[in-house]
């Protein structure tokens, strides 16, 4: 598939892309439907993944899923909150790049591959040390490396790229999709009454992991008050933040929101956030900031939902997958 050269040329002219081309199915008429339909009903693609387990510097493990065809170009894809490497949106993106002659690596955050990790903590929105481990492990065999992140994985990707730390020169471009750039306000948004179906789903699985982890490390983690937690912010305040070295939820959000790291990004990077995404707050659409950034491009379609962007016709490529490929595969 060839790139849309009109869109590509715009990337070199302005950081805020306003001629976005996405139009979805008319039957999915709001952000909730555009979010839920692909999550529940998208066909699970069969792909020849090879799993590899690697050891982290602190003695834990990460499970990686590879699609290889001896390419010199590699795409590394990060999933979202309580997702995993083989979710439909991960498989769809992987398939599109693999069919276009890229090797692909989708990886699982700690505790997300179907087996609980062995350290007394999990993953979180700012755990860039694990992405660094994956990149350093994978980049050795490739001339060019590209990063794609969905939702929490998008925040992780942007924070990693913006941090003032050495990175592989092989990383050429990145795309972040449905990104909660500002964690605190996005957490408030997803915990609102109209979004309880999402936040309760996340809380259910997160609480189970805390219970399992407390059995493994009773001296390090207590489940006191766990059942009283009703919102994601309360969970982050009592568990996510302290478990990963932050004072509380606010400290965690302040230190890990990728919005504060965009100025440090030095490679071409595209952020795709739908304006009707039920997970994202107003702060996740920083139009004014976009004009001050040299390498970060922002595209905010009116519709699309959260990790949605369903095509109008069933057999078409998802718009976000085609858009990510256009951006990464272009010469801009």
Q: Point out the residues that are catalytic.
A: 151, 277, 306
Quote the CA–CA distance of 1 and 3 in Å, as a whole number: 7
According to DSSP, the residues that pair with 271 across neighbouring strands are 176, 298
Residue tagged 């390498």 (tokens): 295
Best CA proximity match to 84, nearest among 205, 214, 238 = 205
Residue tagged 């990510």 (tokens): 324
Residue tagged 């700012």 (tokens): 126
Quote the CA–CA distance of 267 and 282 in Å, as a whole number: 25
With a CB cutoff of 8 Å and minimum separation 6, the contacts of 97 are: 75, 104, 325, 328
Quote the CA–CA distance of 266 and 299 in Å, as a whole number: 18
As given in the structure block, the two tokens for residue 330 are: 């272009």
Coil/strand/helix, residue 76: strand
Phi-psi label, residue 305: left if phi above 0, alpha if psi -120 to 50, beta otherwise: left
Residue ranges of alpha helices (H) inside 62-192 are 88-99, 128-139, 152-162, 183-190
Quote the CA–CA distance of 44 and 88 in Å, as a whole number: 6
Q: Measure the N-to-C terminal CA separation of the chain; round to a whole number of Å.
A: 17
Residue ranges of alpha helices (H) inside 163-219 are 183-190, 196-216
């Amino acid at each position: 598939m060839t790139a849309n050269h009109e869109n590509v040329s715009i990337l070199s002219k302005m950081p805020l892309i306003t001629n976005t081309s996405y139009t979805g199915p008319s039957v999915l008429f709001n952000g909730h439907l555009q979010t839920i339909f692909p999550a529940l009903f998208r066909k699970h693609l069969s792909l020849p993944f090879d799993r590899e387990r690697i050891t982290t510097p602190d003695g834990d493990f990460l499970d990686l899923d590879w699609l290889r065809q001896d390419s010199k170009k590699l795409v590394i894809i990060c999933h979202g909150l309580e997702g995993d490497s083989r979710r439909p949106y991960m498989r769809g993106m992987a398939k599109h790049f693999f069919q276009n002659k890229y090797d692909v690596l989708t990886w699982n955050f700690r505790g997300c591959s179907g087996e609980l990790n062995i350290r007394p903590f999990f993953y979180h929105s700012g755990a860039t040390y694990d992405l660094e481990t994956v990149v350093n492990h994978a980049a050795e065999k490739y001339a060019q490396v590209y990063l794609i992140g969905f939702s929490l994985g998008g925040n992780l990707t942007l924070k990693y790229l913006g941090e003032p730390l050495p990175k592989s020169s092989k990383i050429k471009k990145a795309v972040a999709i449905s990104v909660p750039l500002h964690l605190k306000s996005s957490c408030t948004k997803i915990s609102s009454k109209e979004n309880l179906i999402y936040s309760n789903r996340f809380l259910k699985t997160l609480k189970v992991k805390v219970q399992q982890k407390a059995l493994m490390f009773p001296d390090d983690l207590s489940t006191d008050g766990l059942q009283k937690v009703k919102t994601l912010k309360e969970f982050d305040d009592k568990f996510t933040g302290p478990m990963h070295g932050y004072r509380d939820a606010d400290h965690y959000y302040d230190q890990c929101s990728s919005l504060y790291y965009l100025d440090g990004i030095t490679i071409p990077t595209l952020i795709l956030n739908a304006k009707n995404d039920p997970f994202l707050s107003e702060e996740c659409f920083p139009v004014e900031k976009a004009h001050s950034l040299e390498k970060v491009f922002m595209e905010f379609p009116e519709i699309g939902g959260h990790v949605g962007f369903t095509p109008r016709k069933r057999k078409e490529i998802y718009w976000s997958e085609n858009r990510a490929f256009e951006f990464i595969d272009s010469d801009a």
